Amino acid sequence: MAKKAELKETPEIIAEEVVETTPETTEATEVVETPEVAEVTAETTENTKEETTEEPKEEKFTKSGKKSKKHLEEVKEEENRQARKLETKAAEELGEKKGPKPVTRPKIERRSKKYQEMAKLVEKDKLYTLAEAIELATKTCPTKFDSTLELHARLGVDPRQADQNIRSTVSLPNGNGKTIRVAVFAPLDIAKAAKAAGADIADDEDFLKTLDKGEINFDVLISTPQYMPKLGKYARLLGPKGLMPNPKAGTVTADVEKAVKEAKAGKIEYRVDKQSIVHVGLGKVSFGTDKLVENTTTFLDSLKSQKPASIKGQYIKSLVITTTMGPSIKIENIYN
């Protein structure tokens, strides 16, 4: 019994000891703030506030290169474009439609009212004779000025092959209706004869000074073979404009007078483009049907004579006649 009484008394003793010790421990744990410590803490808080309130630094761009503003904007636009592309691709894989299909008007509705009226006179699937097509083309001309009659011939050739790269000239019996300015680069005695034959410009070395300035006041340039090396450095100026003299075009010749007369009379050059099509102007609408038929027949005869021997199939696949800004008219392909 004495032991049980001792055990009952022990919790009370322990509790008293805990109560006595807790105030001391709490006092020991309390931190005494001195004035110096308070000042330091205030400074640190102010510094942190200043750091947080500081404005972001402006990005520095270079005038050009990868760090330029323009380049960075282009990179962002490209990233956005690629992201949109991936979104649409994912939507297509899931079978989702991004939006309604855009409605595009037919090509005829996008033309002018006058063109639409003239196009009604032409039957799309009908093949007209040459005379009928030219007569109809003059009637369906929508322009107020004197339009040019154009012929477009699709050929069954491969322009990448040297023997199938069609290029030639033809003298139209009634001319092409254009005033052609002819320039001649030749020795002085030949240049004087060319001037008398009707050349607009005929000079010797003085002609090169105008080319040095980049001035081009002519439509056809004719030269003699011995003077062609002097024109070599101007190939980049004359070549893209189709003005570089060429033996195939008849503009490199010893008989300069004859070349000038032919150019003034309406001699035209034609060649096949990358799509195997020949485009050529055959005169003005004001010529009348008879003269235009004569010019067109002369051109088609010349084109037929240029048929390469390596072609076994169709040489002239299709022929279309039109006027400037007018509807196209299909012609019977009598040359096949």
Domains in the chain, CATH or no CATH each: 110-177+266-336 (3.30.190.20), 179-265 (3.40.50.790)
pTM: 0.61
| pLDDT tens sequence for the chain (336 residues) | 444 444 444 444 444 444 444 444 444 444 444 445 445 455 555 555 445 555 555 667 787 777 888 888 889 999 999 998 888 888 777 776 666 677 788 888 888 888 888 888 898 888 999 999 999 999 988 888 889 999 999 998 988 888 888 888 888 888 888 888 899 988 888 888 888 888 888 887 788 888 888 888 888 899 888 888 888 888 888 888 888 888 888 888 888 888 888 888 878 889 999 999 999 999 999 998 999 999 999 999 999 998 888 888 889 999 999 998 889 999 987 765
* 316-323 and 329-330 beta bridge pairing: antiparallel
The DSSP secondary structure of 91-123, one letter per residue, reads HHHHT---SPPPP---GGGGS-HHHHHHHTTS-
Cα–Cα distance for residue pair 114/122, rounded to 1 Å: 14
* 167-171 and 316-323 beta bridge pairing: unpaired
